[in-house]
């Protein structure tokens, strides 16, 4: 399987995700944001970071960059896309995923391991997890507060597009376990066709026990399945 990792100025998880992809034997190429063509791949990754400094709305500038035309073409052909953190923000800004990511409820950056409930394991990104499995993956963001109108939220639920929700130690999805104020405790969603996932947690940060956990591996294992 081949992967392209898009590098924007200000991306800072590009190397991290490359290391994780290669650990699971995905052949990975780094693609510069100004490129107008993209080599063929099965997967495109939009990494975490602060693309263009995120001085405008997070992900907004990146969504208008040259390479995104190629990424959108890849999406329309049914190619896989993962957007983590800033990558998720870029996906909502391009309209490839619905909703927006607002500033965290408490207006502070949060970096910590959180519990997540796997709501949908019938996607190409989560098939290695069990449905309703509780996993631990770190978040690190200032703007991860997922927001969408009621109609969109209803659609997400009806189409089974909500993949990951923040939950507590006992797998309960509640206010206390919602770190950033996201609607319905949403941590990750897919598009209708389920070939694109956007998630605030960083699976690349927990694929080795020395780093604090291995629950992120499931995302990569699902893909190569």
Partner 1 sequence: MSNVNLDSAIQHGLTKDEYEKILELIGRKPNITELGIFSAMWNEHCSYKSSRAWLGVLPTKNNRVIQGPGENAGVIDIDDGDVAIFKIESHNHPSYIEPYQGAATGVGGILRDIFTMGARPIANLNAIRFGSPDHPKTKYLLNGVVAGIAGYGNCIGVPTVGGEVEFDSCYDGNILVNAMSIGLAKKDKVFYSIASGLGNPVIYVGSKTGRDGIHGASMASQEFDSNAESKKPTVQVGDPFAEKLLLEACLELMKTGTIVSIQDMGAAGLTSSSVEMASKGNVGIELNLNKVPCRETSMTPYEMMLSESQERMLIVLKNGKEKEAEKIFKKWDLDFSIIGFLTDSKKLTLKFQNKTVCEIPISALADEAPKYRRDWIEINKPKHIDIEKKLIDLNLEQTIKNLLSHPNQADKSWIWQQYDHMVMCDTAQFPGSDAAVVRIHGNSKKAIAASIDCSPRYCRAHPYTGGMQAVCETYRNLCSVGAEPIAITNCLNFGNPEKPEIMGQFVGVIKGIAEACKKLNYPVISGNVSLYNETNGIGINPTPTIGGVGLVKDVSKIKNLKFKNEGNNIYIIGKTLGHLEQSILCYDLLHLKKGPPPSIDIDSELKNGLAVRSLIEKDLINSCHDISSGGLILSLLEMSISSKIGFTLNTNKKGTDRVKFLFGEDQSRYVIEVSNKNKDNLENHLKILDVFFENIGHTSKKISIDDDLKFDLKELSKINKEWFIKYNN
Q: Which residues are catalytic?
A: 85, 202, 204
Ranges of H-type helices in 24-163 = 60-63, 66-76, 86-94, 150-158
Residue 54 interacts with partner 1 (CB under 8 A): yes or no: yes
Pick 211 or 224: Cβ nearer partner 1: 211
Which residues are CB-contacts of 209 (< 8 A; sequence separation ≥ 6)?
none
Distance in Å, CB of 175 to partner 1, minimum: 16
Residue 67 interacts with partner 1 (CB under 8 A): yes or no: no
Do you know the residue count of the chain? 225
**Extended beta strands in the chain, E state:** 2-7, 27-32, 43-46, 80-84, 100-102, 110-118, 134-141, 145-147, 162-167, 186-190, 196-199
Residue 133 interacts with partner 1 (CB under 8 A): yes or no: no
Distance between CA atoms of residues 190 and 23, nearest Å = 24
Residues 142-161 interacting with partner 1 (rule: CB under 8 A) = 142
Residue 129 interacts with partner 1 (CB under 8 A): yes or no: no
DSSP strand pairing (80-84 vs 43-46): parallel
Contact 139, 179 (CB under 8 A): yes
Residue 97 burial (10 A CB sphere; 0-12, 13-18, 19+) = buried
The window from 37-45, 75-83, 103-111, 153-161 that contacts partner 1 (CB under 8 A) reads: 103-111
Distance in Å, CB of 162 to partner 1, minimum: 25
Residue 112 interacts with partner 1 (CB under 8 A): yes or no: yes
Distance in Å, CB of 64 to partner 1, minimum: 15
The number of residues that bind partner 1 (CB under 8 A) is: 29
Binding mask 23-52 for partner 1 (x = CB under 8 A): -------------------------xxx-x
- Under the rule (CB under 8 A), what is the footprint of partner 1? 9-10, 12-13, 15-16, 19-20, 48-50, 52-55, 108-112, 138, 140, 142, 202, 204-205, 210-212
């Amino acid at each position: 399987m081949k992967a392209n990792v898009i590098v924007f100025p200000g991306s800072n998880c590009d190397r991290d995700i490359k290391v994780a992809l290669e650990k699971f034997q995905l052949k990975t190429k780094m693609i510069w944001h100004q490129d107008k063509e993209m080599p063929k791949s099965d997967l495109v990754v939009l990494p975490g970071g602060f693309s263009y400094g995120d001085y405008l709305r997070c992900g907004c500038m990146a969504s208008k960059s040259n390479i995104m035309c190629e990424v959108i073409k890849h999406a329309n052909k049914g190619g896989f896309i993962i957007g983590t953190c800033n990558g998720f923000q870029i996906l909502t800004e391009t309209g490839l995923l619905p909703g927006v990511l607002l500033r965290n409820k408490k207006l502070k950056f949060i970096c910590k391991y959180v519990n997540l409930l796997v709501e949908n394991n019938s996607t190409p990104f989560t098939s290695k997890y069990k449905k309703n499995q509780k996993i631990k993956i770190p978040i690190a963001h200032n703007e991860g507060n997922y927001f969408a109108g009621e109609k969109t939220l209803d659609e997400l639920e009806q189409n089974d597009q909500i993949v990951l929700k923040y939950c507590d130690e006992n797998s309960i999805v509640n206010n206390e376990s919602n770190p950033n104020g996201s609607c319905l405790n949403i941590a990750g969603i897919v598009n209708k066709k389920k070939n694109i996932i956007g998630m605030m947690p960083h699976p690349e940060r927990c694929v080795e026990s020395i780093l604090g956990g291995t629950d992120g591996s499931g995302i990569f294992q699902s893909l190569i399945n």
